[in-house]
Amino acid sequence: MKYINLALRCLFFAVIIKPIVKIVIGLRYQNTPILPKDGPAILIANHNSHLDTMVLISLLPLNILHKVQPVAAADYFLKNKFLAWFALNIIGILPIERQGKDKSVNPIEQCAKALDSGKILIFFPEGSRGEPEKMTDLKYGVVKLAERCPKVPLYPIYMHGLGKTLPKGDALFVPFFCDVVFSEPLSYEAQGDGFYETVKARFVGMQESVKLPKWD
């Protein structure tokens, strides 16, 4: 069953998601992609749309898809049997209890265990989805995770446009260009106590660097 689910996952992203992202949405790189070739690693990105996770996964080659795990809210994605199966086996999420109901489970340790096994995590430092094309303050979860795994590289990525394609609270898909900006990887080991401010500065810099086309 494990290999069947993996085959279905690869098929889903190869045949459905990658074409939608590249052709229907229209993915545009603002600079040369800077992405991990293997795990452990963490992709950190802004979060405005239901499509953020799909786009981030689509950036990576299919041969490492089995290592990719988006960190996601268990209470949302595991609320019914079909959604739970799809989220766990096709999207490949690492379910985290964000409401703190189960005090015996430490979300940071869950993520660290996945990284120890060579996974590539997708992590949204803002927490939940924000308003379209607006970044909210970064939560300290990313700092705690980086401190727990100081040698693991984090790859900052900024996406612009998905907040208009499928924003929070909207179920209507509207094709819109998605601009993606990449930044050099960083680690807690290298940045130390200045890690949080460095991450914030990276996102501000990427946000300001987005060059949108001018229409006459």
Reduced to 3 states, what is the DSSP secondary structure of residue 46? Answer: coil
- State the pLDDT at residue 176: 67
- State the pLDDT at residue 88: 94
- State the pLDDT at residue 212: 61
- State the pLDDT at residue 136: 79
Amino acid, res. 96: I
User: What is the C-alpha separation between 212 and 88, in angstroms, rounded?
Assistant: 36
Q: Is the omega angle on the peptide bond into residue 40 within 30 degrees of 0, that is, cis?
A: yes
User: What is the C-alpha separation between 55 and 20, in angstroms, rounded?
Assistant: 9
CA 208 distance to own-chain centroid: 20
- State the pLDDT at residue 11: 94
Strand ranges inside the chain, DSSP E: 27-29, 41-45, 68-73, 94-96, 120-123, 154-160, 178-182
For the chain, domains (ranges, CATH) are 2-209 (3.40.1130.10)
- State the pLDDT at residue 45: 95
Whole-prediction pTM: 0.90
Express each pLDDT in 142-154 by its tens digit: 999 999 999 999 9
Closest CA relative to residue 76, chosen from 88, 84, 68: 84
- State the pLDDT at residue 216: 38
User: What is the C-alpha separation between 179 and 210, in angstroms, rounded?
Assistant: 7
Amino acid, res. 87: A
With a cut of 70, list the residues of the chain below it in pLDDT. Answer: 98-104, 128-133, 163-176, 212-216
Q: Which token pair is 79?
A: 């609320």
Per the listing, tokens 């229209």 go with 26
